[in-house]
């Protein structure tokens, strides 16, 4: 049975399972706890027993002016064997509901132009292309360890 939840401070092993399933890495419980204890990081998960079927990772971005904070949905991932079961929709909707409840200035995410399935989903959930922002991405690999 699929369980959808926003992870909390007691969900260390769930964060570890997500990172292992989707990033193919093992993280320490301290690293998982750092994520869960950070008030600016939200993890929404879909679990099938202890299997991580999907997740959304979102960050709250404080603004430097008097406007309300923003939410950036950074990851939306569903394991291939669980796709087409509305998991991504439910998880993104959970993040959007929290953003609305917290009175966020706006919520945004970035995806690839050719990611047709994701773009269709985001539009279906009410996402719109920004009329003025034309994104150009610069990566600074010099900052990598």
DSSP label at residue 90: H
Please tell me the predicted confidence (pLDDT) of residue 134: 66
What CATH class does 2-143 carry?
alpha beta
Nearest to 113 by CA among 131, 89, 129: 129
How many CB atoms are closer than 10 A to CB 45? 23
Q: Confidence class of residue 144 from pLDDT cuts 50, 70 and 90?
A: low
pLDDT tens-digit readout, 48-91: 998 999 999 999 999 999 989 999 999 999 999 999 999 999 99
> Which residue ranges make up each domain of the chain?
2-143
Dist. CA 110–CA 135, nearest whole Å = 9
């Amino acid at each position: 049975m699929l369980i959808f939840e926003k992870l909390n401070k007691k969900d260390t092993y769930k964060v570890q399972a997500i990172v292992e399933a989707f990033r193919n890495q093992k993280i320490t419980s301290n690293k998982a706890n750092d994520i869960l204890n950070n008030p600016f990081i939200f993890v929404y998960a879909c679990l099938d027993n202890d299997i991580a079927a999907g997740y959304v990772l979102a960050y709250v971005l404080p603004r430097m002016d008097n406007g309300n904070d923003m939410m950036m949905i950074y990851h939306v991932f569903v394991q291939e064997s669980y796709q087409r079961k509305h998991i991504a929709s439910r998880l993104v909707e959970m993040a959007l509901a929290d953003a609305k409840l917290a009175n966020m200035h706006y919520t945004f995410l970035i995806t690839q132009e050719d990611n047709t399935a994701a773009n269709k989903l985001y539009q279906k959930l009410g996402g719109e292309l920004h009329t003025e922002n034309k994104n150009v991405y610069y990566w600074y690999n010099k900052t990598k360890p």
